Structures are given as C-alpha cells and as structure tokens.
Structure 1
Amino acid sequence: MSLGQELAPHLPFLRRYARALTGSQQHGDAFVRATLETIVASPEEFPREVDPRLGLYRTFHAIWSSANIEEGEEPTMDLAGAEGIAQARLSRITPLSRQALLLTSLEGFSSEDAAYLISASPDDVDSLVAEAMSEIERQTHADVLIIEDEPIIAMDIESIVRDLGHNVTGVAVTRDEAVAQARKSPPGLVLADIQLADDSSGIDAVKDILAEFSVPVIFITAFPERLLTGTRPEPTFLITKPFQRSTVKAAISQALFFDAATVPAA
C-alpha cells in the first residue's frame, strides 16, 4: 500500500482538527494542503516509526509550528497569497494548551501520542489540558441554541452547556423551529444535529440562521464523513456521535475563542 493510500482515511479528520485549531475552514485547509505538499515533496522524511495517522498529524504540527508567531510579530511562514490567510489570523494562533485539549478531546489521542505531536512530555500534556479547561471555566458566557431532535441527547448537550456557565435559549427539533427560535432570541453559538425530527436538515437550518446572524456553529453528527468530503462548504467545528462531554466542552470553547477574537477591542 502506498503512503498516499495509508494517509487517505485520516485526511478528513485532519481537516476537522485543522479547522478547529484555526477557527476557519479556509485557513485550516490551507495548513492541511501545506502538510500534504511537504509529504509529497519529501516522502522519505515522513515519520515511519509511528502509525500513519500519528505521522500525518506530526507533519502537520511541524508546518503549524513554523507559522506560530507571537502577537505583533511577522509570520515565519507565508501561507497568505493564494490561500488568503491574513496576518491578523496568524497572530491569534491557538495556544499550546488548546492544541493539547483538541488533540486529546476532539481527536482522541492519548496523552503520550499528543506529547509526541507537540514535542512535550505526557505530564506536560496533562497540565496543558488542565490549563485549557480552567480557561474554559473563565470564558465569557454565551447564549446557545441547540438544534437536536433526540430528547436524551438534547438534554445531555444542554447539561454540558449549562455546566460551562452558558445560557440555553432553546432546543429546536425542526428547521422551522430552529429559525424561529433564533429570530426570537439571537444566539451567540449554535449546536446543530444534521437529521431533524420532520426529516428537515440541520444544515439547512444553520444556513437560514447564518443568512440573518453572524454566529459560530458546531455540528454534531454520527456520520462526520458526510460533511468532510471536500466537495462542498464544510463546517469549521464538527463533533462525532457518540461524543464525550470533554469533546463538546473543547469545541464550544474553541468556537467562542475565535468568535471573541474577531471582535475588535472597545
């Protein structure tokens, strides 16, 4: 089996991770593209001492680290131009603590594997995750709309949202209900399933809401590959069912982190 064939099954999930890390489909995909170009240019340098998925994410993190800059500095890697990545976005590169949290919570890596990916020790990873979770607890509260037709799942998500200190404005089970609730109480975050109670689409509900409001969205689905085909606009934040509470917390935190980062200071 060729290296490309080994890596292909892992690419949709690397795109998911990259988007969660950057807060943008465009920017995340640009980093993934740069990763693949690096592998194609020097396949002999691909880490073969680990499994292909770990090697793929390791290569991605090497590209990511080369672009990681402090506020006010110039980017050390030019991903602008054709990719359209602005310096303003690069200057808000996700902190290491959030990388550790996303790798373990969203992507399911062990502390040992995450340590390999970010060049740290497993104990460092555990400390970074704890730091990120503490940051989540301090985060500004948001009004959250949940679009989910399974009552038990909706209750679980609502519990997670409230545990984080956010307010749930409503739980909608159809497209029309979701749009109506968004108009009644404009949300600061939307958590959406794809298949809804009346066979309407959560994707269509989100499109309707985004036509009227600028709000971050997290999709929750049992079939993430259906939204990670690379053939149409894809979500920046995507959670796979069944989910862990820590995964939802990490995604909410990251979505709000970038949403707040785009608001100019008063």
Structure 2
Amino acid sequence: MTQVDLSSEIGAALPFLRRYARALTGSQNSGDSYAAATLEAVLADRSMVQESSGAKAGLFKVFHGIWVTTGAPVVEEDEGPRAAAQQYLQRLTTNSREALLLHTIEEFTVSEVGEIMQIGEDEATQLINVARQEMADQVSGRVLIIEDEAIIAMDLESIVADLGHRVTGVARTRDGAVKLGNAEVPDLILADIQLADNSSGVDAVRDLLNDLGNRPVIFITAFPERLLTGERPEPAFLISKPYSEEQVRSAISQAMFFSSTETLKA
C-alpha cells in the first residue's frame, strides 16, 4: 500500500474512530483528544497500521493501545446522570464494552476485534456476550421513536420492547416529536433525520433537548455523512440504514447505560 493510499484509508476511517471514541469517553472533546493522539502516534510510526489486516483495523488498534494505557477514563462528574453512568461502568467486565462497540456499532468481525484488542477470538466473543448481558441487566427506561416509515418504526418498537424498555410514542414529524416528548419525557430518543413532512429529525431532537435537557440520542439514517462532519457536536450513536437488529440493540443498551453521551445541541 502506498503512502497516499494509506492516508486515504485512514482519512475515511477517522469519522468512525471519532464516533467510537465519543461513545467510550462520554464526551466529544475527550473522544476527539484520543482520536488526535491516535493520529499523532500513526504519523510517528505508520508501521503500526501497515502491519495490520487493514488500515481501519490498524487505526483502531493504535487507539486501543493508547486507551488501555491511560486507564480507559471517562468524563468525571460528581452527581447526575454522568455520575450514575460512571458507577455502572465500574461494574462492567474489563474490555467488554469496547469489544461490543467494535463488533456491533463499528461492524468489525470477531477476528478483527481480537486483532484490535490483541486477544484471541474466543476471548473477544466472550467479552461481547458478557457486555450484552451486563448492560441489559443494569438499565431500563422510556424511549421516544422519531421515524416516518411505518415498517421501520414497528421494527424499532419491537427491539425496544425486547430489551425491556417502554416506547412512549412514535412521531412522524418534527412537531409530533416535540408534542410526544413533552407529554411524557423519554430517557432515550431514537431518531431518523428525514421525516414525513420534510421536516428534520435533527431539528426535532434539538427542540426536545432545549425543552427537556440533555439525554441520549441515537440517530438512524441513510445519510450518516450529514452528521459526521466534525463541525458541530455530533451524536455518539449513529447507525446507518439499512441497519441490523444487533446494531440497534447494542446502541440502545450503550446509550441508555451511558446516558452522559453527548448529542447534538442547539
């Protein structure tokens, strides 16, 4: 692979590394600091990426090395949802959350997860399964779905219910979402970007966060590039359509569990 090709592949993978880093740290600023440190390490020694099975896996492998070396810290809070999230995190099996995110949200194979985390496939599989169970046992709550496609909305409702959460309502428009959100405050919002009346799910979420305060949001969209720009606060949990059930299940468990995750703000 030429230096130009390597740089191009790293550039393409960077938005997803930043997404992963935000989910782990609970903060866009902290996540971006880790992503920047990863790039600095790669620039100092490109062999760390070149010797991996692929540039993206190599980039995440470098990140993971830095992450575990610094003790996998999250944003520290004394009280509120973030403090509660940190208490939950302390109970998780070491490395299980990282393995789950890598496999389900970032879509690395179990073999690639093992490569990134420098463990065997059997251990990677075990960590993923442990994380699923531990998170499912910890947190449940109310979920608002903002989705204009009826079949997708029904599918999301089913996934939410299977995880033990309760759907407060399904909105097809920006105004409908605001009305439902204020009628019963959700603990988590699942939102598409493009809604039925050509209104914006992003604007609906902004309205709700202004009214209700910060809370976790998962965007499910066919246009992820519209949000992974680095020009404004970005959602930690962004799933591309078409999605898999496992991706949605993992994102819901992660976002509900780690409710300090930053989302789009006005």
Distance in 2, Cα, partners of 1:234 & 1:191 = 15
- SS across alignment from 2:235: coil
Distance in structure 2 (CA, Å) of the matches to 1:4 and 1:261: 29
Residue 182 (structure 1) aligns with:
181
| Paired AA for residue 13 in structure 1 | F
**Which has the higher mean CA deviation after the structures are superposed, 150-159 or 211-220?**
211-220
Q: C-alpha offsets along residues 190-247 of structure 1, whole Å, 9 cap, x if unaligned? A: 0000000000000000000000213111111111112111122211211111111111
Q: Tell me, in whole angstroms, the C-alpha distance in 1 between the residues paired with 2:246 and 2:135.
A: 11
**Kept in 2: contact 1:136–1:164 (CA 8 A):** no
Query: Partner residue of 2:221?
Result: 221
Question: Secondary structure, in 3 states, of the residue corresponding to 1:62?
Answer: helix
Q: Distance in 1 between matches of 2:169 and 2:117?
A: 39
d(CA) in 2 for partners of 1:5 and 1:111?
A: 25
Tell me how far apart the structure 1 counterparts of residues 248 and 136 of structure 2 sit (CA, whole Å).
14
Deviation at 1:108, TM superposition (A): 1.1
Q: Please show how residues 249-260 of structure 1 align to structure 2 within 5 Å.
A: 249-259=249-259
1:8 aligned onto 2:11: yes
Counterpart in the other structure of 1:81: none
Aligned residue runs from structure 1 range 82-161, under 5 A: 86-87=75-76, 95-161=94-160
Identity value in percent: 50
Paired residue for 2:53?
A: 50
Name the residue aligned to 1:79: none
Letter in 2 for 1:21: L
Q: How has the CA–CA distance of structure 1 residues 132 and 229 changed in structure 2, closer, same or farther, with 3 Å as cutoff?
A: same
Q: Distance in 1 between matches of 2:48 and 2:246?
A: 34
Distance in 2, Cα, partners of 1:105 & 1:6: 21
CA distance in 2, matches of 1:261, 1:43: 31
The aligned residue for residue 238 of structure 1 is: 238
Q: Name the TM-score, length of structure 2 as normaliser.
A: 0.86
The structure-2 alpha-carbon separation of the partners of 1:49 and 1:234, relative to structure 1 and needing over 3 Å to count, comes to: closer
Give the Å deviation of 1:86: 4.5
1:86 and 1:163 map into 2 onto residues whose CA distance is 30
Pairwise CA RMSD: 2.3
Match of 1:21 in 2: 24
Partner of 1:211, secondary structure, is helix
Give TM-score scaled by structure 1 length.
0.86
* Structure 2 counterpart of 1:191: 190
Stretches of 4+ aligned residues off by more than 4 angstroms: 85-95
Counterpart-to-counterpart distance in 2, 1:126 and 1:144: 29
Query: Counterpart of 2:39?
Result: 36
Deviation at 1:182, TM superposition (A): 0.5
Q: Judging changes above 3 Å, is the alpha-carbon distance between structure 1 residues 87 and 215 closer, same or farther for their aligned structure 2 residues?
A: closer
8 A Cα contact 2:178 2:204, kept in partner: yes
Unaligned runs of 5+ in 2: none
Which AA in structure 1 matches 2:199? S
Deviation digits for residues 74-130 of structure 1 (CA, Å, limit 9, x no counterpart): x7xxxxxxxxx7455897588411111111111111111101111211011111111
Letter in 1 for 2:228: L
Change in Cα spacing, 1:115 to 1:238, as seen in structure 2 (3 Å) is same
Letter in 2 for 1:232: R
Q: Any unmatched runs of 5+ in structure 1? A: 70-74, 76-84
2:10, 2:139 → 1: CA distance? 38
User: Structure 2 CA distance, aligned partners of 1:6 and 1:194?
Assistant: 27
With over 3 angstroms needed to count, the CA separation of the structure-2 counterparts of 1:68 and 1:47, relative to structure 1, is farther
